Amino acid sequence: MKRDLELVRRILLHLEEGEASPSGFGAFVEDGYGLPAIHYHIRLLHDAGLIEADEIVPGQWWPERMTWSGHEFLDAARNEDLWRETKNKVEKSTGTAPFLVFHELLLNGLRARLHKGPRSRSKGMARPRTRHH
């Protein structure tokens, strides 16, 4: 089975919302993901150290919680536009990339956006004052 980074991201977003119940993955099934693929990706996330999970019966993995590393990846992958841009860049240039390279590309995109500053601030708007205590 191939690794699906879209499914990886969705599982992490789902866990961050506090949804670790069996019924919570129903939307994934409705979107065309089979239960074997979902369980496989939960195991991959566990193996990568992004979540803690248990194998409740052979082949069926259940997530317990996200780890610090899982939160770190999700912070880089959360923005939909950045995610789509990074995914498209990888697909057009190489077709696929190792997870660590993909994560680094997300971080580079995030750094570039942070360097540009907030999008909502228009010219001439005063910065909010910060109170110092």
Map out the domains of the chain with their CATH numbers. 5-67 (1.10.10), 79-116 (no CATH)
Please answer whether residues 15 and 28 qualify as being in contact, where contact means their C-beta atoms are separated by less than 8 angstroms. Answer: no
- What pLDDT is attached to residue 68? 97
Residue 26 corresponds to which amino acid?
Answer: G
pTM score: 0.81
* Token pair 């979107």 in the structure block, residue: 31
Residue 15 corresponds to which amino acid?
Answer: L
- What pLDDT is attached to residue 119? 61
Assign 116 to helix, strand or coil. Answer: helix
pLDDT along the chain (133 residues), means of 10: 94 86 78 93 96 93 94 95 95 92 94 80 44 50
- What pLDDT is attached to residue 21? 63
- What pLDDT is attached to residue 33? 94
Query: Cα dist. 3→45, 73, 124 in Å?
Result: 10, 16, 47
- Residue 4's nearest CA partner among 28, 34, 37, 32 is 37
- What pLDDT is attached to residue 100? 93
How is residue 61 written in tokens?
């993995």
